[in-house]
Amino acid sequence: MSAAPQETSERVLEHMGVLYDEETARVTTERLIRLAEDYRSRLAQRDVAPASAATAYLITYPGAFTRDGEAPLQTLASVLERVGDAISDVHLLPMYPWTSDDGFAVVDFRQIDPAVGTWDDVATVGRGHALMFDFVANHVSSASPWFTGWLADDPRYTDYFVEPGPDFDVSQVVRPRTSPLLHQYERPSGGTATAWTTFGPDQVDVNVANPEVLLDLTDVLLGYLAAGADTVRLDAIGFLWKESGTTCLHLPGTHAVIKMWRALIDDLIPAARLLTETNVPHRDNISYFGDGSDEAHMVYQFALPPLVLHSFVAGDSGRLTAWARALEPCAPGSTWFNFLASHDGIGMRPAKGLLEPDEVEALVDRVQAHGGRVSYAAEPGGGRTVYELNSSYLDALTDPARSGDAAHAARRALAAHAILLALAGVPAIYYHSLFGSRHDVAAAEASGIPRRINRARLDADALTAELEADARRSAVYEGLTALLRRRRDLPAFEPAAAQQVLDLGPEVFAVRRGEGADAVTVIVNVSGGQVSLPEVSGTDLLTATRHDGVLLGEDEFMWMVEA
């Protein structure tokens, strides 16, 4: 079939058999293997480091930092010079030409948006840090040549998009939006076409039931790895495969596509990583690990942001502790992608079954008290549920009555991130969290887009000055970078190091990582007051102070070793 190992060809063929009839699966497999061979020599030159205690991702837009006369990607590279080795990897949110959703309606997967820079600028960012690229595989912009070609009846793009017929049952479809599932578009030749739009009229779902679409997407994925990505994030991937009468979410066809990509990566560049973005309840989310070795290398820990926020709002870690204690260790070669904040809001769907309705309402009240927004999702059969909370995570953490208290905001930000940094997996920190930003209510109001509350661009030179003069920014930034640098050298924080979640009472969250002399116990006070733990003794690595019995102040935390 090709020079690829027979095992890879067999794995790919198995997964194609889930999608297509026998002959189509065979032909598509042959074409995928030939495509992979075209990339083999380029990918063999890539050097990808495995995840370790030193791994920490910064989540950022390519245009997040600006400076007059400079491409934003160049500005980002200079900002990263200041951050240095506190961050190992940079997650570049969509950096391609786009028309809406702040980058997630992609016009051309293979080009860099000239407003942020060039492929050379991407390479510059990658000289000091490993890179994660975003792959918005589920949909494209309505201005994409793929879609405009489809509308124009270009044979190259026949069946590139989903146009369900009258017999296609969409009654059970699950979506994160309340807009219509299907939209009509005018064809240049006259008449209209109907297309599937999970996320809205400017984001049109591609049709991977057509093997040509799958081959195009696979070429994009391998191209990203060849262009310098160590990790590729599969955005909204759970919606990829459509089937009549189903939820069209997490279907076997979707898993088969990811498993095929994993098979190719295992063969071509095995240290690279796939991260699936599926903002759904925990059981569905972890299904993207497959058997632990055949699907995603990393899965978002989507339940973590709402549970950590709840712990501080309620002053009670019980929900977080119970959930964390129930987590099973990841299989070798896979791990959690832990985060608190991202470019999106605080997803509440993963909290379903973990938080009671009144506890969810308490988080809604907290965010709204800070001027934040709440986004809702449609449910099959009507109705809606809280989908996400739109707020700066750091603002949501703080007591609204103390919103101007920089010391309170900084302490709580560091305490929450101490939990993030303690858990098995790799941590990721959003750029506004790293730099202690407040949310931008004016941007949300002016745009009518709730998520813009946490997507402000930062003038790099003004930021430098604020890191000296602004108490909140400086305390959060200095505190987080110090924690990240201390974490780098501790074997206890290797992604797969042993984890034991302790129950020291609802006032604290406590977890022991590692074993023997290398073990570290992280204790975080979430109560909002002072907590006494007379039974705990050891040395706090962060202050080099010995404790026989621990007294934790408000939002205080310790990294304890037995010595």
In the numeric block, which tokens belong to residue 163? 């146009």
pLDDT in tens, 378-409: 776 677 789 899 999 999 999 999 988 999 99
- Residue 169's Cβ-count burial label (10 Å; 0-12, 13-18, 19+) is exposed
Three-state DSSP at 290 gives: coil
How far is 509 from 490, CA to CA, in rounded Å? 20
pLDDT in tens, 277-334: 998 888 899 999 999 999 999 999 999 999 999 999 999 999 999 999 999 999 998 9
Return mean pLDDT, the chain. 96
pLDDT of amino acid 380:
66
Residue matched to tokens 């590279």: 77
How far is 69 from 74, CA to CA, in rounded Å? 10
Residues 6 or more apart whose Cβ sits within 8 Å of residue 385: 348, 349, 352, 376, 377, 379
In the numeric block, which tokens belong to residue 540? 């706090």
Three-state DSSP at 372 gives: coil
pTM score: 0.96
Residue 85 is among the residues annotated as catalytic for this protein: no
Contact 426, 337 (CB under 8 A): yes
* Count of C-beta atoms within a 10 Å radius of residue 442: 12
Three-state DSSP at 59 gives: strand
CA distances to 60, 230, 499 from 334, rounded to whole Å, are: 23, 15, 15
Closest of 187, 186, 188, 206 to residue 196, by C-alpha: 206
Amino acid (one-letter) located at 199? F
Fold of 57-137+211-240+250-492: TIM Barrel (3.20.20)
pLDDT of amino acid 4:
65
Mean pLDDT of 158-184: 94
> What is the CA 85 to chain-centroid distance, rounded?
21
Least confident of 204-208, 314-318, 344-348: 344-348
How far is 485 from 490, CA to CA, in rounded Å? 10
Amino acid (one-letter) located at 368? Q
Secondary-structure class of domain 139-205 per CATH: alpha beta
pLDDT in tens, 513-562: 999 999 999 999 999 999 999 999 999 999 999 999 999 999 999 999 99
Max mean pLDDT range (37-41, 374-378, 379-383): 37-41
Candidate list 113, 134, 235, 395, residue with the active-site label:
235
Residue 133 clears pLDDT 60, i.e. is over it:
yes
pLDDT of amino acid 96:
98
Mean pLDDT of 452-475: 97
CA distances to 320, 324, 561 from 531, rounded to whole Å, are: 18, 21, 19
Residue 3 clears pLDDT 90, i.e. is over it:
no
Three-state DSSP at 427 gives: strand
Amino acid (one-letter) located at 388? E
Mean pLDDT of 491-520: 97
Secondary structure letter of residue 71 according to DSSP: -
Residues of the chain with CATH 3.20.20.80: 57-137+211-240+250-492
How far is 151 from 367, CA to CA, in rounded Å? 42
Fold of 500-561: Immunoglobulin-like (2.60.40)
pLDDT tier at 1, thresholds 50, 70, 90: very low
Sign of CA dihedral 204, 210, 214, 217: negative
How far is 351 from 322, CA to CA, in rounded Å? 13
pLDDT tier at 2, thresholds 50, 70, 90: very low
Residues of the chain with CATH 2.60.40.1180: 500-561
pLDDT of amino acid 178:
79
CA dihedral 222, 224, 227, 232 (to 10 degrees): -110
Q: Angle at which helices 357-369 and 304-314 pack, to 10 degrees?
A: 80
- Beta strands 426-430 and 335-339 are parallel
Closest of 301, 363, 307 to residue 337, by C-alpha: 301
Mean pLDDT of 135-149: 98
Residues of the chain with CATH 3.90.400.10: 139-205
Closest of 517, 519, 483, 522 to residue 502, by C-alpha: 522
Residues 6 or more apart whose Cβ sits within 8 Å of residue 357: none
> What is the CA 39 to chain-centroid distance, rounded?
27
Closest of 237, 277, 259 to residue 10, by C-alpha: 259
* Count of C-beta atoms within a 10 Å radius of residue 462: 11
